[in-house]
Amino acid sequence: MSVGYQVSSDHQLARLLQIGIVLEEVVEARAYHHHEELDEDALDEEIRALLSHAAEESADHRERLEAVIDRLAVDSVPFEEIEALVEAQYGQTKPEDFDGVLYDQLCNEETAYKFYDDVIEAIEASEAQFSIDREELVATLSAIRDEEAEGVEEVTRIMEDRE
């Protein structure tokens, strides 16, 4: 998803952060899906640890995003509306559409990284005043984006090691 514009209000920012929350839920759900759907032999310890970490990290990211939204001077957009937006944009693929757990996880990590990168870019391009400190907001989102980048690197490393 390319944000493709400046974030001009707390309301727009809250909506984008809610999209981030749903994306994190998708990542967590897909990690759990792989844990449950694949037999024990298909998931070695390294992949099991990767999926577990991805789920825990997603839960942490959701909590951090929710904390930011709670500090904004806005009423929350109904969650069903956000889920529909995410489904339309990101729901085109399912875990089984990928050639293996690692490819699915790589897609999830890259999608999240790009989303946060786009949101940060839109915030930085904006001259709007938010009800939360802009530097703190960008720092929070940058930390989450950096963790997603680390996830991309980790999955890529594992994939390369298995070639």
For the entire predicted model, the pTM comes to 0.83
pLDDT in tens, 20-55: 998 898 888 888 877 777 666 667 888 888 989 999
Question: What rounded mean pLDDT belongs to the chain?
Answer: 83
| Structural domains of the chain in order of their starting residue, each with its CATH number | 10-161 (1.20.1260.10)
Distance of CA 140 to the CA centre of its chain: 13
Return the higher-pLDDT residue of 108 and 100: 108
pLDDT in tens, 64-92: 999 999 999 887 655 566 666 656 555 55
**Residue 101 and residue 99: Cα distance in Å, rounded?**
7
Contact 1, 115 (CB under 8 A): yes
Q: What radius of gyration, in Å, describes the C-alpha atoms of the chain?
A: 16
